Structure formats: C-alpha cells, structure tokens
Structure 1
C-alpha cells in the first residue's frame, strides 16, 4: 500500500479534528519566546532541556516532520531562522498561520523526512525532530539525511517511541489489561489487512527497535550526547510501569 499517502491523509483528518499535535501555540507563548522565556517538547510532557540548544539567534533550524504550529514558531520567535518540513499541507498551514499572526520569519516546505534533497549539505545548525519517525518503515534514511544537511558541530534533537509501547494488545490495554501480542520491530501491516487499515483511517505506524533508533543515529555519524524518557502523563496504563517515549541529543562532530 502507499504508506506515505495513507498517513498523509490521516494527518489531514487529525488537523480537522484538532488533535493536540495540530493545535498552534498561542500569542502569549510567542511573546514569551520573544523575551527568551520559551520551551518546546519533542515527546509529550517533558520540555527539552534548555542546555541541549545552541544560542538560537541567527541560527538555521530545520523542524523535521514537525508541522502543527508548535515547535517552529517558538524557535522563530526566539531568534532562529526556521524551516518547517512536513508531509501534511494542513499541518504546515498551522505554522504559516502563526507566522502571519505574530509576524514571524518562518518558511515551510512540503516533503518527506526521508528525502531532504531540496536542501544542500551542511545547511542547518540545528534539527528538531519530534515523535514522527513511527510513520515511516525505514528510519535509516531519516538519520542519514539529517546528518548530511547539518553543519559540522550541528545538533539533532529527536523524540521517538520506546518500542516497548508496541508490544501490547491495544484493545485489552483500554480495558486495563497489559497482554503481550506484538513483536518488535512492529508493523500494523503484520496484524491488519490493507483494507482494514484503509477503512479505519488511522495512521499506519511502525515500532522501530532501539538499535534502529539509537545505533541508527550513531551509524549515520552522530555522537549521542543527551537522553531522557517521557510518558503519556498518566493517560495510558503503560505509564504505571514504564516510559513510552525517548528523546536524544545527537551531535555531528565533523
């Protein structure tokens, strides 16, 4: 099946439904960022440590698969030159809306996180990549392209799913039961037919191994310099036992 087209359509629907990750930041958030009082998340509840970021003023920043009017506008208000890439036109429209509303300099580009060929090598000082690589089956391309377009000394801040999240039966978890059902790496295509997936309208997800996530960044050339975990903030049963999200800071040394 056409995975990217299916997931793109799913996110267009999420914008119409006002999914939390499609709702732009408010004017007050932007004003605080202009006064150097800001934070962003790349997972769910925990803000990225401020010390993970370079001085933003004048820096070239790529918000990778990061539409929705959240991370990009905040970083632009803090002084960065921001480019937001996403495969959802409606998500990018959220960033454009905030930029116009709050008079920010921010650009958007429609595209896939696995193909950054529109950007020259060593174009960016910082890449911010919130939880999104669960929507592509091969994340090696994401790490390789991120490494290519970063300048030497550049930083990649990423959020992604802890693969343990994908082990359990979804329906039983909603009933308060954790029962292992799936194997890792996970693909919904292994458990549902294409017809069922298309009919559901739900985005097709892939649960990548920790080796693909962490060693994948190292293999691409990065040095891992920061790590933390996050939960759904108590909204999921699994939160009582472990964290479902991971964030890393990776540096391109050469």
Structure 2
C-alpha cells in the first residue's frame, strides 16, 4: 500500500470524527422507504443516479460499494434487496455502515482495503459496482478500473463518480476567496506541493483520458454519462461542472 493511500485512510478516519457530510450515515426514514421500493443514491455531490442505470429489481444482485464507506450508498442498496459488500480504506467510515446495518437489521459485508487492489475477491464476483467520487484519493486510477472489471461478471455494471480535473488547475485558497487563478497543471498531484498536512486528504487530479479511456481499456463500454458540481458552493461552479458520473458495462471482446 502506498504511503499516500495509507495517509488518506487515516485522514478519512478524522473526517468521521469531525462529522464531514460524506461520513454521515443515512437516516432511518430513508431506509424504510428503500425497503418499500422507493430509493435513490448519489455518486457525486448533488445529483442522484438515474434509476434506469439500475435493474428494475435489486433482489439477489451482488453489489460492491467500492471506496464507499460512510453508511450511505451501501445500506440503501441493501434495504432495496441487494447483497451488498462495502469496501473502504477507512475503518471509521466502515463503522458507519456497520452502525446503520445493526440499527436497521440489514445484512452488509464490510471489508477494509485499497480500491486499487481487490485481490480479496475472486474473478466475476459481482453483478454491479457502485463507486462514488473517491479515485481522487489514489495516485493511479487505471488499476481501479482493471480491478473493477476483473471482479465484475460479464455484462456487469460499473457506476462511478469522479472529478473533472479542471478543478485542480486553480489555486485552491484563491478559489475559496472567489478568484480563479491557474496555478497547477494536469495531471495534478498533492505530493508535488510544499507540504503534506496530517489529517488532510491528499488528492490527485487524473486526466480524462485515464478516467474514461481507462474504463474502456479495462473492458467497459460507457452507456451513461452526466455532470454535477458542488451545488454552487464553490467559485468554479459558476463556470463548469467539476464532477462526472458514468455508467459502464463490462463486455469481453
């Protein structure tokens, strides 16, 4: 495991302690609705994944929630009838999923690990993978796509969210002050900056070629696409969407 990945695992543990929005477990009312067939999840900040990206029924479907701890997507999909495994690097994020499962009487498998190494799972283990914006926290993204392809069954579906790398062009402090000033190039690596701060995540702005062509090179066909942003919470939101979601189907040629 790379030191940056280990660093980010601990940083996400700290985010749980701080109560970050992406670590807040889903409420009981949402689980109740999901059990009744009324459910939705997100893999980016604001928009929800279209329901037609999923099969009409999740009963018996084996779903891997990849780098998806926090007690959000996994419990909803389990309540909707899926056989869900939540895989994440942060123990405290996984504890949020365990908390919801125990509170709501859900069956969830909880596995700790690095999203670039899914060797704990055999080939063709899952019908679907749900992968919210998370590959921004690994130095290399293509291994994520190859491992996802390996553990998916033929014609299995990968639903993923990721960052448009344009976000990382700008000076972050000035962007927060309402000014857009280009400071970095793409691909972006936090490791190239002056210091690594304990408790703060290290982020990596991967090229769109690695994000999208990386999926097709791993054996996927892109069958759905949409853009999202931070809901107007950042200056850059005024000019461009900085998050992308794709639906991809594994097809062996």
TM-score (norm 1): 0.97
1:42-69 superposed Cα distances (whole Å, 9 cap, x missing partner): 0010000000012311100000000000
Distance 1:141 1:24 in 2: 28
Distance 1:3 1:190 in 2: 12
8 Å Cα contact 1:61-1:128 kept in structure 2? yes
The reply to whether residue 9 of structure 1 matches residue 7 of structure 2 is: no
Secondary structure of residue in 1 paired with 2:109 = strand
Q: CA deviation at 1:198?
A: 3.3
1:1-20 superposed Cα distances (whole Å, 9 cap, x missing partner): 81112111110100000100
8 Å Cα contact 1:42-1:247 kept in structure 2? yes
Unaligned runs of 5+ in 2: none
Length, aligned pairs only: 250
Q: CA deviation at 1:171?
A: 1.1
The reply to whether residue 213 of structure 1 matches residue 211 of structure 2 is: yes
- Aligned mate of 1:170, from 153, 169, 172: 172
8 Å Cα contact 1:64-1:86 kept in structure 2? yes
Q: CA deviation at 1:253?
A: 2.0
Q: CA deviation at 1:163?
A: 0.4
Q: CA deviation at 1:119?
A: 0.5
Distance 1:191 1:198 in 2: 11
Matches within 5 A, 1:37-56: 37-54=38-55, 55-56=57-58
Distance 2:3 2:131 in 1: 23
Q: CA deviation at 1:175?
A: 1.4
8 Å Cα contact 1:6-1:198 kept in structure 2? no
Matches within 5 A, 1:1-254: 2-54=3-55, 55-192=57-194, 196-199=195-198, 201-254=199-252
Q: CA deviation at 1:132?
A: 0.3
Q: Single out whichever of 77-86 and 172-181 deviates more from structure 2.
A: 172-181
Q: CA deviation at 1:153?
A: 1.1
Q: CA deviation at 1:191?
A: 2.1
Distance 1:147 1:116 in 2: 10
TM-score (norm 2): 0.97
Distance 1:91 1:120 in 2: 24
- Which consecutive aligned stretches of 4+ in structure 1 deviate over 2 angstroms post-superposition? none
Distance 1:71 1:5 in 2: 23
Distance 1:248 1:162 in 2: 12
RMSD value, Cα:
0.9
Distance 1:227 1:158 in 2: 10
